[in-house]
Amino acid sequence: MPNFKRALSLVVLTSCTTSSVQSFHTPFPRKNSARRTVPRSASVSALYSDDTSNNKNILSPLPASSLGGEIRAVTVAYIDSDESVGVNSNRRKKRVVLDAKGESFTSTYSVRLPIASDANNIIGISLKEVNRGVVSEVGLQIDSMRYITVEEEVTRLKKRECTFGEDGGDSSIQVLDEKGLETSSGIVVSSVERGGLAWDLGVRAGDFVIATSATVGDKMWPKSSLEGIRSAISSRKVISSSMQVEFQRAGTFVPDAELVQEFELSLSRPMGIHIEDTHDGYVQISGFTEDVPDFVTHNLRVGDRIIAVDSTLGKMWPVSTVDGVVSSVTTRLPGQTVQLKFERVVEDGSDLRVIDSLDTKSTSTDVKDSLSKSLIGAYSKYADSDTIVDGKGSKDLLARCRGILRRYISVHDPISERSSGIPALVADRVLESISKAEIPLDPVTLSLIMNAYISCDQPNDALRTFEGTTGVKVDGSNDEIDIDVDWHQVNGGIQRNEECLNLVTATDVIRAHAKLGDSVLVKKVLSAIEDDPDTVDEGRTQVWSTNVKPDTKCYNTVLAAIVNSNNLQDAENLFEKMCEPDQHPTCPQRNIATYNTMVGAYARAGRRKDAYDLFTTMRNHGFKPDKYSVTSLIKAATQEADFDAARNLLIDMKVAGIETDVVAYNTVIKALCLKNSWFEAKELVAEMESRGINPNSKTYGLLMNGLLRLNKPGPCLTLFESACADQRTASLMENVQLYTTAITASATLGDYERAFELVSRMSFAGVKPNIKTLTALMGSCISAGKFDTAMDVYDKIPNPDGYAQTLAIRAKCGMGLFEEALNSVSISIKSGENSLSGKQLMQSYNCIIGAALEQEEFLLAKQTMDNLLSEGLIPSKKSFQRIIDSLDLAPARENLEDSGEKRNMNEDAQFEYLLGVLDALEARKLSCSAPFYSAVLAEGARSGKLKRRLASIISLARTTEQNSIQLEENENITTVAPKEVTTWLGLWKNYAGLKDRLDDIQLQTIRVNINGRELRSVLYAERAVTFGRKKRKKTAPKRELPTLN
């Protein structure tokens, strides 16, 4: 845990009074917070290579114990300091960068500026955005952190002397000359005050800001918007008093600058290069391997620097350490290409080369050769293939395989992104080796292989291996197995051995089905094992083997699978089939794990009394409760919000000598956060820490999500960054859920640049973004109005779910692609796969309607409403409110006298759309909301003339939902002479020919849902359109509703 006093007090200070900080005066100690990091030099080519003996600097992705390497407890942390130290602090502050052809150049320099300025310490610069030569009208004044308009800027400049060049008096201002910005885009310095800190450090008007310091540490992150810079300064201010800012100046050589040339290359793994960290903060090439491809040595040389690597989102992200390069490269599969940006120091003219004329991509033959070599290298590390294949005798071979499998299963960390799939790779290589030896598997080796796959969340591979090696179907039947062509192409040499079917491997089959969440097959397999047709309700299955009899472990596995499928009744039935230890020795006996599973099931189902009763029964039968038993009781108590009982159980655990772990505390912390009792959760964390229990990643996740539930995204990010800044907990934060939560907080703040920065840090840490991460990133882009960037992120999602599709539709609407958004909804409905839920479908339709109305696309908005109704959906209050907001309709109580105000350039089309909505609702006998009805009347009253007259007639046709039902019954029973039927839209278009015979026309009924609070506004709106009502009563008889005789 980081210094929790510092971490969470920062959160408290930004969200409440300082009186709440006192609980966090003691930091959390860490027993083992070290994590494996790469050495300071590494070989990218050697990643998954087949020879590590000749190079001591080669990075190994495996534990040191297996390869004889050394693991150093060095943590890459984001430690901040007010001094110029850190990852990038030793880099050359002045650089001139040439393009790939060497024809144009830009000078780059960086300065450190104080964040908090005062009267004696003025920075003196203002910034503006430039988009293809167009300068924004709004600027950002760094000293005040205020946005200033053109008028404010002109007023300020009039009082001071202004010049374009270097010359000028003291306290004068150098302003931007926009003539040279015809094709430029970015953040430009619009003015610099002479005598200010920025001027003295060499900043000039016309320079572009390209990067600023990260929130913590000295890493530099690109910036492309004023809001991004403003957010970076605001968040940095919490941690530090200064910030490094990198500027770029085109076409001008900065004195004493380093001259470099930038270029990009696309390389495939293995790359064949050695890299190392330099003292000045760069990653440079230190050498090449013996089997390096020719195109690599042709394009690169020793001393070239790697400055950026393409991310999984298709953007180039800067790198400044070997750790960053290696973690980025290792996310690619062997043979997959990686785009890298290099720079070369140009000492004289002979070093200058036209980079883009070089062969920057490998041929298909090179890629195939690289892939072959890397696969051999990967498998040789994991399985020592030479030793296995050349072993003397099948027993020695299988023994060696079992030793390797046990080694990697024992050290497997399912949480770690980098090593999550290693046991499965080991199992693959073991199967290949046994296949080459053409020998059968034994039950123990088969069980280890299946466990390796299951531990890596690959249960289907475990089931395929079971069928391929035993010839028995995994569904519990004796039918012929289906030949898996892919599996047999690789492992066809393995001889079948029916003796591999025993209780252990059968239990592994159950575990694999349980991993897939298929409780039906779990019960069928149990029925096949014990030949008991009463075990399952889905039909009798054939017996597998008379030698296989289920034991307690097998029953417990089945019981856990049934509980996880939320089938409590079947779980109770299976529990009753088991007996106590002193009963029926041949029957599977209950143990502490059996009771814990059922107590947990009752707790999860909210049956607290049953959980407590079973807990008492367990103790009466002589079973001593453990931490799992009591944690289930704690969960049952928290589900009923009985936090006092939950805390008492924590105390009882300590008194009874039961080990209390972080899971028990997290159970209570989670419940408190869900009840928005965040400060009580904070106090519980302090209590946990005082007992020597270290919070884990989930503890942080619960606290961060609790702050988001309280709508405090700023403190949520502060907590995350503080934990990242502490070496003791930096490794805890390398978690996809925590990064996703932090990105969600950035999205809530509308800071998409910070969200992208977090994704980049994820990549550098070796954490792979999941679909929730990418959807959170899409949300941040949409909040910032970067809809095209949101669509770029969406394209990176392989199988988008309904929420991602909803965000994509919002992004398309923001880009004005309404028809494409509507087509996306239609395609999702027709496909049936990954389709939108009813709520998401309604949200998508509402978004399209609102966005189309804002752009006066009334026909498309009407088409969308028709599609919504045709899908059987009923517009909600949010749907009607979205129409009101998008059209900026006047509320019922707005001053309607000012009818001359022009708020819509096409008011006739707008009114036609509103009438069309009323007609579409009546066609399906649906009601509209009271605010929408009132807004339609108010719009008619505001516009006057014909619109007001129609609004008056609409108010006469209004009926409540109850009267509407009565009306329909009367229409079905009474016989009334038929009248000409017309819609509201038809009346609007043909009013001149229909106005004299309105009493002979049957108009559409207006159905309105009105509650007590809305009745007054409805009556007020109707009173405002009583134009001509009294006169009409004199000239025409009142239309009466037909009554039931």
Confidence of residue 6 (pLDDT cuts 50, 70, 90): very low
Q: What is the β-pairing status of strands 1006-1009 and 958-960?
A: parallel
**Structure-token match 């094709």, residue found:** 183
- What is the rounded average pLDDT of the residues 564-577? 89
pLDDT recorded at residue 20: 31
Asked if pLDDT for residue 425 goes beyond 80, the answer is yes
Confidence of residue 977 (pLDDT cuts 50, 70, 90): low
Q: Quick one: which of 723, 755, 768, 739 has its CA closest to 75?
A: 723
Confidence of residue 708 (pLDDT cuts 50, 70, 90): very high
Interval 498-514: pLDDT, tens: 888 888 888 899 999 98
Furthest-apart CA atoms within the chain: distance in Å? 113
pLDDT recorded at residue 72: 27
Q: What is the β-pairing status of strands 980-981 and 928-929?
A: unpaired
pLDDT: is 88 or 769 the higher one? 769
Confidence of residue 701 (pLDDT cuts 50, 70, 90): very high
| Per-residue b or e along 611-626, where b marks 16 or more CB atoms closer than 10 Å to that residue's CB | bbebbeebeeeebebe
pLDDT recorded at residue 699: 92
Structure token pair of residue 894? 């707005």
Cα(911)–Cα(951) distance, integer angstroms: 10
pLDDT recorded at residue 116: 65
Q: How far is CA 589 from CA 407, 526, 569, 592, 595, in A?
A: 32, 16, 20, 10, 11
Interval 817-875: pLDDT, tens: 988 888 888 888 777 655 788 888 899 999 999 999 988 888 999 988 988 888 888 89
Asked if pLDDT for residue 703 goes beyond 90, the answer is yes
Asked if pLDDT for residue 2 goes beyond 50, the answer is no
Confidence of residue 120 (pLDDT cuts 50, 70, 90): low
Interval 48-82: pLDDT, tens: 223 333 333 322 222 322 222 322 222 222 223 33
pLDDT recorded at residue 887: 86
Asked if pLDDT for residue 1045 goes beyond 70, the answer is no
Is residue 423 reached through a cis peptide bond, with omega within 30 degrees of 0 on the bond before it? no
Cα(216)–Cα(235) distance, integer angstroms: 9
Average of per-residue pLDDT values in the chain: 75
Confidence of residue 706 (pLDDT cuts 50, 70, 90): very high
Cα(609)–Cα(613) distance, integer angstroms: 6
Interval 356-412: pLDDT, tens: 433 333 333 443 344 334 333 333 433 443 444 444 456 777 888 888 888 878 877
Q: What percent of the chain has pLDDT over 70?
A: 73
Asked if pLDDT for residue 876 goes beyond 70, the answer is yes
- What is the rounded average pLDDT of the residues 473-487? 75
Asked if pLDDT for residue 30 goes beyond 90, the answer is no
pLDDT recorded at residue 362: 38
In one-letter notation, the amino acid at residue 897 is: E
Q: How far is CA 400 from CA 384, 435, 466, 690, in A?
A: 9, 15, 20, 47
Contact 614, 598 (CB under 8 A): yes
pLDDT recorded at residue 381: 39
Interval 315-372: pLDDT, tens: 677 787 887 788 777 666 555 678 888 988 876 544 544 444 333 333 334 433 443 3
pTM: 0.60
Asked if pLDDT for residue 479 goes beyond 80, the answer is no
Asked if pLDDT for residue 310 goes beyond 70, the answer is yes
Architecture in CATH for domain 94-250: Roll (2.30)
pLDDT: is 532 or 731 the higher one? 731
Cα(33)–Cα(10) distance, integer angstroms: 22
| Per-residue b or e along 475-499, where b marks 16 or more CB atoms closer than 10 Å to that residue's CB | bbeeeebeeeeebeeebeebeebee
pLDDT recorded at residue 311: 66
Q: What is the dihedral of CA 296, 300, 301, 307, to 10 degrees?
A: -130
Q: How far apart are the first and last CA of the chain?
A: 80
Question: Could you give the residue range(s) of every CATH 2.30.42.10 domain in the chain?
Answer: 94-250, 260-373
Contact 407, 66 (CB under 8 A): yes
Asked if pLDDT for residue 956 goes beyond 80, the answer is yes
Q: What is the dihedral of CA 667, 672, 675, 678, to 10 degrees?
A: -140
29-43, 700-714, 785-799 — which is least confidently predicted? 29-43
Class of domain 260-373: mainly beta
Q: What angle do CA 210, 216, 218 make, to 5 degrees?
A: 55
Q: How far is CA 626 from CA 593, 598, 659, in A?
A: 10, 14, 7
**Structure-token match 């009924």, residue found:** 1005
pLDDT recorded at residue 811: 92
pLDDT recorded at residue 847: 92
Q: What is the β-pairing status of strands 1006-1009 and 928-929?
A: parallel
Q: What is the β-pairing status of strands 186-193 and 208-213?
A: antiparallel
Q: For 269, which DSSP code?
A: S
Which phi and psi (to 5°) does residue 239 adopt?
-100, -35
Interval 517-553: pLDDT, tens: 888 888 888 888 876 654 444 444 455 655 677 888 8
In one-letter notation, the amino acid at residue 12 is: V
Q: Quick one: which of 502, 542, 538 has its CA closest to 522?
A: 538
Which phi and psi (to 5°) does residue 579 adopt?
-120, 170
pLDDT recorded at residue 745: 92
- What is the rounded average pLDDT of the residues 963-970? 44
Cα(412)–Cα(97) distance, integer angstroms: 45
**Kind and range of the H or E run holding 136:** strand 134-141
591-600, 711-720, 957-966, 1019-1028 — which is least confidently predicted? 957-966
- What is the rounded average pLDDT of the residues 719-737? 84
Q: What angle do CA 536, 537, 540 make, to 5 degrees?
A: 70
pLDDT recorded at residue 537: 43
- What is the rounded average pLDDT of the residues 587-599? 89
Interval 242-294: pLDDT, tens: 888 988 887 665 566 677 888 888 887 778 898 998 877 789 999 988 878 88
